[in-house]
């Protein structure tokens, strides 16, 4: 199986991290060679950067925020993602470059051209083969995010952003989806965890060439 990069995106409280864990578990049960990772924090250096940014009580300049995420991504892409893809693994990342367009671009107000240049430098041009966006109304997502049991999340500085901020972020994600329909898939995130998981597994397994039984299409045809 050829290596691929699949990314999961969503505003805070969308449930994507729960879906990430469930998807990774299901694919491993099917014997698929995957690497499950995240941004920020997919590498040892990234984990230190994540702690420095998300867990600090210090005010973070928007430019520093943009560049911190870029530094994390450059390390992530070149030391983890690219080698895994070269080995034929399916890499699934909880957030990737679209998050920078949405959060730092639309959310913080950086010009799109600037953000795209930073993304290109950090990713070395590597784009996802498939991106899944878990969409739900901002107020619903924030309500979930404020629930201490939701998504097994711990509070970080992004939890204190306004609903207006997240409205801009969500709008940008939906704009990306509209402009890149071949890559970007939008899933209704305002349903039960089980319903969403079923749709995610169906989408991903079809994308990588397996039917619901876990067999490749050729095997299913011969049976």
Enumerate domains of the chain plus CATH numbers: 4-222 (3.40.50.300)
**Mean pLDDT, all residues of the chain:** 88
Q: 214 falls in which pLDDT band (50, 70, 90)?
A: very low
Taking 80 as the threshold, does the pLDDT of residue 6 lie above it? yes
pLDDT tens digits along 145-174? 777 444 445 566 676 788 999 999 999 999
Least confident of 30-39, 56-65, 123-132, 196-205: 56-65
Q: 20 falls in which pLDDT band (50, 70, 90)?
A: very high
| Res 148: pLDDT | 47
| Res 154: pLDDT | 58
pTM of the model as a whole: 0.88
Provide the token pair at 122: 């950090």
Cα 40 to Cα 54: distance, rounded to the nearest angstrom: 9
Helix (H, G, I), strand (E, B) or coil at 122: helix
Helix (H, G, I), strand (E, B) or coil at 93: strand
The alpha carbon of residue 118 and the mean position of all alpha carbons in its chain are separated, in whole angstroms, by 18
| Res 59: pLDDT | 83
Provide the token pair at 20: 């990430």
Helix (H, G, I), strand (E, B) or coil at 157: helix
pLDDT tens digits along 55-108? 777 888 999 999 999 999 999 999 999 999 999 999 999 999 999 999 999 999
Cα 15 to Cα 20: distance, rounded to the nearest angstrom: 9
| Res 53: pLDDT | 79
Burial degree of 199 (CB within 10 A; 0-12, 13-18, 19+)? middle
List helix spans (H) across 30-102.
Answer: 44-54, 62-76, 82-86, 97-99
């Amino acid at each position: 199986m050829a290596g691929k990069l699949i990314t999961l995106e969503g505003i805070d409280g969308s449930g994507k991290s729960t879906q990430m864990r469930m998807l990774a578990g299901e694919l491993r049960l099917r014997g698929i060679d995957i690497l499950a990772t995240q941004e920020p924090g997919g590498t040892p250096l990234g984990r230190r950067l994540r702690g420095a940014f998300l867990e600090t009580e210090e005010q973070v300049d928007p430019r520093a925020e943009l560049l911190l995420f870029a530094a994390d991504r450059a390390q992530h892409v070149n030391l983890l993602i690219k080698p895994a893809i070269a080995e034929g693994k399916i890499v699934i990342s909880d957030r990737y470059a679209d998050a920078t367009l949405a959060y730092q671009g639309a959310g913080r107000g950086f010009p799109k051209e600037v953000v795209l240049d930073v993304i290109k430098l950090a990713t070395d041009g590597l784009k996802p083969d498939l991106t899944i966006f878990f969409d739900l109304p901002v107020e619903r997502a924030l309500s979930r995010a404020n629930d201490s049991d939701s998504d097994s999340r711990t509070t970080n500085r992004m939890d204190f952003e306004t609903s207006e901020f997240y409205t801009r972020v969500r709008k940008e994600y939906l704009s990306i989806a509209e402009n890149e329909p071949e890559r970007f898939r939008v899933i209704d995130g305002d349903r039960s965890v089980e319903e969403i998981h079923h749709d995610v597994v169906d989408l991903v397994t079809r994308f990588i060439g397996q039917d619901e039984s876990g067999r490749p299409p050729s095997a299913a045809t011969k049976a």
